[in-house]
Amino acid sequence: MGELDGVWNVRRRGGLLPPLVGVQKRISGASGETRIGTLPGARFDVVGLSLRYCAPFTGFVDVLEPDGSGFRGRATYRGREFGRFEMQRVESGGAMSSDQLKDQLVKHIDEAYAMEQNVLRMLDSLIASTNDEEIRGEFRQHKVETERHAERMQQRLEAHEATPSMIKEAGGIMGALTKSVLDLARPEKAGRNARDAYTTEHMEIAAYQLLERIADRAGDEETATAARENLADEEAMARKLEGHWDRFAELSLEEPGITV
């Protein structure tokens, strides 16, 4: 096993690098990848203590040097340094360090923020394609709540000196915009809108259940409280949707002209 083999947490130390929340390097032998959460990784070749990135990132090289139990790194492009970072090995088993716990907490806050940005755009689509005025009004009210949810998560990121991940937000926006086009074109909008909204609410409920517990373990009561407040709104919206299933069924049948 080489000295670089394993999974490494990466932390920004300066320069033009972003906060690197949730970034890891996974190295095995002569190759590895840099990953952000579950997103596809950027591949690199290991040459000594240099990580030379493969296409489409050719020209980027991380230059490492030992630093205690980890490594210091210089991020370069065509030989010019543009940022500095450090790497600490993720130990298998054992207790998580306070820095690792904070990194995990910030990652989950960031994911919750990105989720809410996605939901905001989904709600725009649902409002535009829902004909029932009562249900449309509930979607509009939930959009106001969702804007407040996103603001809370952004404030918690700022409290940890972090900023929202543009990669995750961009991915969420693209998914929501695609959904908007499909919503306007597809038949039986009412039933499918109800299904999508109900599924989304429960995804949010799960995300805030998890965030609350991680915040509790990290000793971050402010984030735990924000998660509980957002969770209460999501659970209330899920109950509203549950109360409309008969109406959703009627609307879904009316659209193709079916009367029962």
The position carrying tokens 């360090």 is: 97
Query: pLDDT at residue 193 above 60?
Result: yes
pLDDT of residue 1: 52
Does residue 168 register a pLDDT over 70? Answer: no
Residue with more model confidence, 181 or 154:
154
Between 50 and 41, residue with greater pLDDT: 50
- pLDDT on residue 91: 67
Mean pLDDT in residue range 226-235: 96
> Quick check: 197 pLDDT over 60?
yes
Distance of CA 67 to the CA centre of its chain: 31
Q: Is residue 123 within 8 Å of 215, Cβ to Cβ?
A: no
* pLDDT at residue number 76: 96
Q: What is the pLDDT of residues 125-155, one digit of tens each?
A: 889 888 889 999 999 999 999 999 999 999 9
Per-chain mean pLDDT for the chain: 84
Residue 86 pLDDT greater than 80, yes or no = yes
User: Collapsing DSSP states into helix, strand and coil, what is residue 56?
Assistant: coil
pLDDT exceeds cutoff 80 at 189: no
Do residues 119 and 153 lie in contact, with contact meaning Cβ atoms separated by under 8 Å? no
Q: What residues pair up with 23 in beta bridges, in sequence order?
A: 36
Whole-number pLDDT of residue 260: 54
**Per-residue pLDDT tens over the stretch 68-83:** 889 999 999 999 999 9
In this prediction, residue 173 has a pLDDT band, given cuts at 50, 70 and 90, of very low
- The per-residue pLDDT for 155 is 96
Alpha carbons 28 and 13: distance in angstroms, whole number: 25
What pLDDT score was predicted for residue 169? 46
pLDDT for the residue 192:
80
pLDDT digits (tens, 9 = 90+) for 98-133: 677 888 899 899 989 989 998 998 899 889 888 889
DSSP 256: T
45 strand-pairing partners: 31, 52
Could you tell me if 19 and 83 are in contact, meaning their C-beta atoms sit under 8 angstroms apart?
no
Residue 178 has pLDDT above 60, yes or no: no
Burial class (CB in 10 A: 0-12, 13-18, 19+), 69: exposed
Q: How far is CA 66 from CA 23, 73, 194, in A?
A: 19, 9, 55
In angstroms, rounded to a whole number, what is the distance separating the alpha carbons of residues 26 and 32? 5
Lowest mean pLDDT among 27-41, 46-60, 186-200: 186-200
- Can you list the positions of beta strands (E) in the chain? 6-15, 23-28, 31-36, 42-47, 50-53, 60-67, 70-77, 80-89
Q: How confident is the model at residue 180 (pLDDT cuts 50, 70, 90)?
A: very low
Closest by Cα among 66, 67, 61, 65 to 45: 61
**What would the mean pLDDT of 201-229 be, rounded to a whole number?**
93
- Total-model pTM: 0.59
